[in-house]
Amino acid sequence: MGTLSVDKILKTSTGAAEFTLPATDGTAGQVMQTDGSGQLSVAALAADTVGTAQLSATGTASATTFLRGDNAWTAAALTDWAESGGSLLPSNAAYGIYLGVNTATAANLLSDYEEGTWTPTVNGTATYSTQDGVYTKIGNVVHAVFKLVSSGGAGAGQTITGLPFTASPSDEWAGCLRSSVGITWNGTAPMLNVVGTSIYGVGFNTAASTGQVDFTTFGSSDQLGGFVTYTV
């Protein structure tokens, strides 16, 4: 078969059309394009177009991957975050989520949430038929609830210990009694105050002055219940 040598390709059907062939064939991977006036040329694809190189990607295409700009099939994911049982899991426990804003604002960063149980204990040698404590921590605020029912022993005075986090600042947080059955106080039934990881009663003591209020006994079937809210 012979070689066809032409400089131009003319359209022979109805309508005028004439294409001028480029003088060189370009390099591997380039494509032929027109300038809109019939002049053809060979050129490389622009970076934002798709050609053979862009379709030759690494990795595996699937319903859960996408083609990145570096021609790699990659699973869709946020940097430093993974998925566990349908929930987001950060690579660093200090990471959180900004709520109510669309820019990174420290006051809107929620970086800690926890809920669990704790074991409230009164001073002395009391034993318990019920010794329940639950808490929720959101950011730096802890809300703790407790219920104690004695089954014997000789618990008494001063504190309920065992809070899951240390209060900061200390001695400035309050709570309330929900129940006080069989308890003898050395003053009015108190509000509750948190110092460190302990709960104290605060009210009018027997000297008719504001201060710490203690219960003098915590015997069989006696009950204490309440809650405190404090910061850490």
Residue 191 pLDDT exceeds 60: yes
Q: Are 154 and 171 in contact (CB under 8 A)?
A: no
What confidence category does residue 115 fall into, taking pLDDT thresholds of 50, 70 and 90?
Answer: very high
Tell me the average pLDDT across 98-127.
91
Q: What percent of the chain has pLDDT over 70?
A: 69
The CA distance from 96 to 107, in Å, is 12
The CA distance from 217 to 189, in Å, is 14
The CA distance from 99 to 139, in Å, is 12
- The pTM score is 0.64
Predicted confidence at residue 24, as pLDDT, reads: 76
Q: Are 84 and 94 in contact (CB under 8 A)?
A: no
Residue 198 pLDDT exceeds 70: yes
Averaging pLDDT over each range in 3-17, 53-67, 88-102, 137-151, which range is the top one? Answer: 137-151
pLDDT tens-digit profile of 64-98?
777 777 777 777 767 888 888 888 888 898 898 89
Predicted confidence at residue 145, as pLDDT, reads: 97
CA dihedral 22, 24, 25, 30 (to 10 degrees): -80
Q: What is the CA radius of gyration of the chain?
A: 38
Exposed (0-12), middle (13-18) or buried (19+): which is 199, by Cβ within 10 Å? buried
What confidence category does residue 10 fall into, taking pLDDT thresholds of 50, 70 and 90?
Answer: low
Mean pLDDT taken over the chain: 78
The DSSP call for residue 108 is G
What confidence category does residue 133 fall into, taking pLDDT thresholds of 50, 70 and 90?
Answer: very high
Tell me the average pLDDT across 180-208.
72
Tell me the average pLDDT across 7-14.
61
Predicted confidence at residue 184, as pLDDT, reads: 67
pLDDT tens-digit profile of 24-51?
777 777 777 777 777 778 777 776 665 5
